[in-house]
Structure 1
Amino acid sequence: MRKLLIVTFLALIVFFSGCIGSNSSATPTTTTSPVTQSQPKEVTTETKTVTQTQTVTVTMTRAPTHYPLTITDSLGRKVTIKKEPQRIVSLAPSITETLYFIGALDKVVGVTSFDDFPPGVQKGRTIIGGFSGPNIEVIASLKPDLIIGTSMHIKYLDKLEQIAPVIIVDPKNIDEIYEWIIKLGKVVNREEEAKGVVNYMKAIVEDIKTKTSNASKVKVFFLLSTYGGYWTAGKGTFIDSLISIAGGENIFHDVEGWKQVSPEEIVARDPEVIIFSAHAGIKPEDLCKTPLAETTAFKNGRAYMVSDDNLVSRPGPRIVLGLEEIAYFIHPEAFNYAYQAKAAACASS
């Protein structure tokens, strides 16, 4: 009789604790097990059940805290965001594009005169000047609660910090671009959207890596500009990393950053593929009149112009589209594409 009373009492505890908790269907299993166990085991089992139910209840009622949020920017500065930004000034097209892709464009009140994506992005927003020369007075008039710039804006940092918190974003490769998309997602409370964008980008990158993994490395020269000489991208630039991911070998990987190189150096390193910017300042056919006509790339008609310079010059989500294009130029056979070179083979010129 005593044992029956104990079992009944314990069953009532389980019944009421189930009502207090999350209506779990696992309670009946616990009430039947004490019949075949000794009294001490019954008490221990029921105590654990009650404790577990209370823990779940506490966890579900705890509210997450997102702000204030402190992040480290590309300069190593600790920047604290006290509350979710509602009025953002973007000092670079790449930043505006990133905010657009993660669903925070509605927070942007100021952009540069160079911002052109998404189409119509300047409409309803204040132009705060050019990319390298923002107008401090105009920015201040917008009363922003966050300003996001690049390494181009370090010289304005002191003045900008008097207006609002300033984050400097300066990724050097595609992995750092991923990191900054996630960071900006946290800053503007769009972290899940940012993760989705990064996952989409990584899927494209992995597809390209898979298709070019068994292909031989192709020597590539990337011509950025001919103003004042031949400018190219070396180690530490995202263009250098794009060439590598696409299955190429940057012939100037041994130089740092953006560098001016001589035509003699280019010919000596003899690229098999030449890719040049649409804003390089020279027409494809005009390159045949330069020493570059002596390279294997030109002799085989493998000089290509990117369709949109912004796809490879802006470190944002669209850079994977530039990567795709570079990969097609370097290894068209891996993608079943047959690109026609934008410059004729110069051997017969």
Structure 2
Amino acid sequence: MKDQLGRLLDITQIPKRIISLVPSQTELLCTLGLTDSIVGITKFCVHPEGLKTEKKIVGGTKNVHFNKIADLKPDIILCNKEENTKEMVFALEKIAPVHISNVITLEDTYQLILQYGEIFNRTMQASHLVNSIQYKKGELNIDNRIKKVVYLIWKDPWMAVGGNTFINSMLELNNCDNVFKNSTDRYPVLTLEMLKELDIDIVLLSSEPYPFKEKHISDLIKLLNTNTILVNGEYFSWYGSRLLNAFDYFKTIRWLNN
């Protein structure tokens, strides 16, 4: 068995004790019926609700308590190329096999789900989930007009989403032309002066990782004189089972459908 970086995993039996260091992957495990097998999660694993009160918190996505992880005696640790660091992975590999995901497109998501199905003996559930997500995607009927957008994820400094990201793939599904899709940086740092010079139809403010609120909308509209809306970042950035609801959510976004 290989992970999404093509790394061979030394797994001889179905893992029974799982540590997940990626929130969207934690939710995916629960959807696949593996909640009881999860022994450790991050402080950002907020879905499903209440899971954080049941499982051991081993840190965040960039910094973890290796001693806590070792004490849990995991059979496998689940990471992500973007969310977790190389240094973490090297240290974690001394504790247990580490599976690393690398999700940029929907196809990558499908592959990850099916890999988990094989690793954890949930092939039927994984196949059903992939089919359900594909069906939901097929129901998406977005206005064919291309909208030029910037998707902001941070303030002070301002940061946007570039190309080669899962968020950019979700924007493309919504017929959005990300003005920073060709940036050499996956998450370019900007100034408001730079944004003023761009021909943008819509500014999207993500609810995460920076907690943009409604109050930020009026401020940007005044500064940029451009349609600005707040969007639920989970539906643009959480791959896995959150996609079951993402496509219905996309239909509700006012400026994406007008």
Asked if the contact 1:222–1:276 (Cα under 8 Å) also holds between the matched residues in 2, the reply is yes
Whether the aligned pair in 2 keeps the contact of 1:224 and 1:233 (CA below 8 Å) is yes
The one of 124, 132, 135 equivalent to 2:54 is: 124
For 2:148, what is the secondary structure of its paired residue? strand
Matches of 1:244 and 1:324, distance apart in 2:
16
Supply the distance in 2 between the matched residues of 1:292 and 1:233 (Cα, whole angstroms): 22
Aligned to 1:91: 21
Aligned to 2:191: 262
Which one-letter code corresponds to 1:278 in the other structure? S
Aligned to 1:133, the other structure's residue is in SS state coil
- Correspondence for 2:230 among 300, 305, 315: 305
The within-5 A match list for 1:151-300 is 151=81, 152-208=84-140, 211-212=141-142, 215-226=144-155, 228-255=156-183, 256-279=185-208, 280=210, 282-290=212-220, 293-297=223-227
Contact kept? 2:4, 2:112, Cα under 8 Å: no
**Residues 132 and 244, structure 2, Cα contact 8 Å, conserved in 1:** no
Cα distance in structure 2, aligned partners of 1:94 and 1:267: 34
Overall identity of the aligned pairs, in %:
26
Structure ranking higher in helix proportion: 1
- Tell me which amino acid in the other structure corresponds to 2:92: L
Query: 2:217·2:229 contact (CA, 8 Å) conserved in 1?
Result: no
- Per the alignment, residue 36 of structure 2 pairs with 106
Q: Which runs of 5+ in 2 are unaligned?
A: none
Separation of aligned partners in 1, 2:166 and 2:176 = 14
Count of residues in Structure 1 that have an aligned counterpart in Structure 2: 253
Partners of 1:221 and 1:251 within 8 A in 2: yes
Provide the residue aligned with 1:318 in structure 2: 242
Contact 1:287/1:293 (<8 A) preserved: no
Shift in CA distance, 283/144, structure 1 to aligned 2, threshold 3 Å? closer
Going from structure 1 to structure 2, the CA distance change for 1:150 and 1:282 (only over 3 Å counts) comes to: closer
- What is the alpha-carbon distance in structure 1 between the residues aligned to residue 248 and residue 202 of structure 2? 15
The 3 A distance-change label for structure 1 pair 129 and 289 is closer
Question: TM-score normalised to the size of structure 1?
Answer: 0.67
Which structure exhibits the higher relative contact order, with contacts defined as CA atoms closer than 8 Å and separated by 6 or more residues?
2
Distance 1:215 1:76 in 2: 37
* Kept after mapping to 2: 8 A contact 1:264/1:291: no
SS in 2 for 1:231: strand
Q: In 2 relative to 1, CA 192–286 (structure 1 residues): closer, same or farther, beyond 3 Å?
A: closer
- Pair 1:266–1:137, CA change in 2 (3 A): same
Ranges of 4+ aligned residues in structure 1 off by more than 6 Å: none
Q: Deviations over 1:195-216 (max 9, x none)?
A: 11111111111211xx22x621
From the superposition, tell whether residues 286 and 246 of structure 1 become closer, same or farther in structure 2 (CA, over 3 Å): closer
Which amino acid in 2 is paired with 1:188? F
CA deviation after TM superposition for structure 1 residue 286, in Å:
4.1
* Shift, 1:327, TM fit: 4.6
Aligned-residue Cα RMSD (Å) equals: 2.1
Supply the AA of the counterpart residue of 2:128: G
CA contact (8 A) 2:62 2:85 kept: yes
- Could you tell me how far apart the structure 2 residues matched to 1:160 and 1:173 are? 26
Aligned 8 A contact 1:181 1:198 in 2: yes
Contact 2:165 2:186 in 1 (8 A): yes
In 1, the alpha carbon distance for the partners of 2:149 and 2:248 equals 15
